[in-house]
């Protein structure tokens, strides 16, 4: 069994031509506070962003559910409907 690692991520959102939320390229951050600061800045530029963390073992691919650290600007209410490619 490997060692657990926590990743901090910012997921920016914009609105498509149809008004639906469109997730943009995720941005990695080094810390929880860094993710929140980056999400705040990205939301001002793109319209919205969510900062979250994921903890797990990269070797096995076993990760716990994401923990939302903050929502900034306009973001979807239900993240379960969002697919990030």
pLDDT of residue 78: 79
SS3 percent helix, strand, coil of the chain, rounded to 5, is: 20, 40, 35
Tokens of 53: 């963390």
Q: Where are the beta strands (DSSP E) in 1-85?
A: 5-15, 21-23, 27-29, 48-57, 62-63, 67-73
pLDDT of residue 34: 98
> Does residue 81 lie within any of the structural domains?
no
Report the number of distinct structural domains present in the chain: 1
Whole domain around residue 46: which residue ranges? Answer: 5-75
> Does residue 84 lie within any of the structural domains?
no
> Does residue 39 lie within any of the structural domains?
yes
pLDDT of residue 46: 94
pLDDT of residue 84: 54
d(CA 35, CA 6): 12
Q: Tell me the pLDDT of the chain (85 aa) as tens digits.
A: 679 999 999 999 999 999 999 999 999 999 999 999 999 999 999 999 999 999 999 999 999 999 999 999 999 987 755 655 4
> Does residue 67 lie within any of the structural domains?
yes
């Amino acid at each position: 069994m490997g060692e657990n690692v926590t990743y901090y991520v910012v997921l920016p959102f914009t609105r498509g031509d149809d008004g639906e939320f469109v997730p943009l390229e995720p941005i990695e951050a080094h810390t929880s506070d860094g993710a929140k600061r980056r999400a705040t800045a990205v939301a001002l530029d793109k319209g919205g962003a969510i900062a979250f963390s994921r903890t797990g073992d990269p070797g096995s691919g076993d990760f716990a559910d994401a923990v939302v650290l903050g929502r900034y600007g306009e973001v979807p209410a239900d993240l379960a409907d969002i697919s990030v490619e």
